[in-house]
Chains A and B, each alone.
Chain A
Amino acid sequence: MKVFSIFSTLFKRKSKPDIQHLQKIYHELEALDKAKSDFLTLISHEIRTPLAVINSSLELLKTTEEPESRSKLMGLAKKHVARLRKFAEYAIDISALDIGKLELKKESFMINEVIDEVMNKYAPSIESKVLTLHLESHGEPIFIFSHKEKIKNILSELIENAIENSEEHKNIFIEIHRDEKYCTVCIRDQGAGIEEDMKDLVFEPMTKMGDILSHSKGTGLSMYWAKKILALLGGEISFTSHKGEGTEFVFKAPLALSKRLAA
């Protein structure tokens, strides 16, 4: 309201062209204000929701004696602590990237090992939905030159999304290829696919997705973060999706130099 009254006062004093300019600035400020408010809503949602699961799991633990139920509740609490930790990491990375202050130390490592690790991590979720995971890697193990933890997190996001989007008894396919310079990893599900009008927004931060109240969990920052991190690491990420048939995410990462020369 204060901004509005300042501009209202200015409008009275200015000639017509100036008023148009000020109106433009006013609308830009209004849009910025909405973006800020949406961002705070996102932060609140992404923090309060996992906290609610953690708190309710811990409350239930106080009165639960059966070992299997206790272990399930502990698992839930830990899962949502990890979700909070991940959100904090993404927000900090994005903030550092925006001001050009994120430095990632790259190393050579075997992508196949990281994929195995992530697959093991998600084995219980895959089993509980009776999904079949097909891993296809061509030839010998592939070494990439990148940041191992970030690549592991990106792979985790993609596999987690694929599991979440899959109905029971479906398949998830992971393929690893290489060419002279890059390693390519494709992760394909047989889920519902991405709506046409959402395709342009997949790699945007959630605050650009129109009605923030229609936000669903998991779409907050992760894909926006993944695209930015991969670009910083000299790679890229893209996807193709067909309604009713599924979605395939493809990411590329540079091969380790010695392995590139050997190719």
Chain B
Amino acid sequence: MSEQKKILVVDDEQDLVETIRSKLSSEGYKVFAAHTGVEALEKAKDTKPDLILLDIMMPELNGYQVCKKIKEDDSLKNIPVVMLTAKAQESDKFWGLETGADDYITKPFEFKNLLKTITKHLKHE
């Protein structure tokens, strides 16, 4: 990887953040983590990641609200947001994409699919 891409992983389940961090780091990405919606917005502004993996069910601000705020912010709106969530119904996916998310992956997931989705959106940048 010529330039190290930055990914912000947002999930209140710390153990899951750690396994994702481990996999993405081994693939050459620089990983930042946030565990609440509020922290996610702060880290997004501070680190300007190339992509955000975003959980929906979180304390304080939920993932839909975070995504909406990101897409309304001129300095962040071009960052691809991939929802990574336990909410698996079609209506959940609809609302995710409706708030401006670029993609939607349901838990549990395979790393192969996660990496494929990340690569797809980073290529489009």
- Complex alpha-carbon distance, A216 and B14, angstroms: 12
Known: A41-B87, A49-B86, A51-B107. A214 touches B13 (CB 8 A): no
What is the CB-to-nearest-CB distance from B21 to chain A, in angstroms, rounded to a whole number? 10
* Smallest Cβ-Cβ distance to B36: which chain A residue: A216
* Structural contact, A56 and B58, CB atoms closer than 8 A: no
- Chain B, 29-74, CB within 8 A of any chain A CB: 56-60, 62-64
* Structural contact, A56 and B56, CB atoms closer than 8 A: no
B residues within 8 A CB of A97? Answer: none
- Complex alpha-carbon distance, A79 and B58, angstroms: 21
A170 contacts the other chain (Cβ, under 8 Å)?
A: no
Contact of B57 (CB < 8 Å), options: A54, A79, A213 = A213
B97 contacts the other chain (Cβ, under 8 Å)?
A: no
* Structural contact, B22 and A60, CB atoms closer than 8 A: yes
Known: A213-B56, A213-B63, A216-B59. A52 touches B107 (CB 8 A): yes
B residues within 8 A CB of A73? Answer: 19
B94 contacts the other chain (Cβ, under 8 Å)?
A: no
A53 contacts the other chain (Cβ, under 8 Å)?
A: yes
A residues within 8 A CB of B125? Answer: none
Main secondary structure of the interface of A (DSSP, over half): helix
* Smallest Cβ-Cβ distance to A164: which chain B residue: B14
* Structural contact, B57 and A212, CB atoms closer than 8 A: yes
Known: A48-B88, A48-B107. A56 touches B16 (CB 8 A): yes
Categorize the interface residue count of chain A. 20 to 34
- Complex alpha-carbon distance, A44 and B107, angstroms: 10
* Structural contact, A53 and B13, CB atoms closer than 8 A: yes
What is the CB-to-nearest-CB distance from A19 to chain B, in angstroms, rounded to a whole number? 31
Known: A52-B107, A54-B108, A59-B111. A217 touches B87 (CB 8 A): no
A65 contacts the other chain (Cβ, under 8 Å)?
A: no
Q: Mark B104-120, 1 if CB is under 8 A from A, else 0.
A: 00111111000000000
Known: A53-B13, A53-B15, A59-B110. A48 touches B86 (CB 8 A): yes
B residues within 8 A CB of A59? Answer: 23, 110-111
Contact of B109 (CB < 8 Å), options: A52, A215, A217 = A52
Q: Mark A33-76, 1 if CB is under 8 A from B, else 0.
A: 00000000100110111011111110110010000000001001
Residues of B within 8 A of A (CB): 12-13, 15-16, 18-20, 22-23, 26, 56-60, 62-64, 86-88, 106-111
Residues of A within 8 A of B (CB): 41, 44-45, 47-49, 51-57, 59-60, 63, 73, 76, 79-80, 211-217
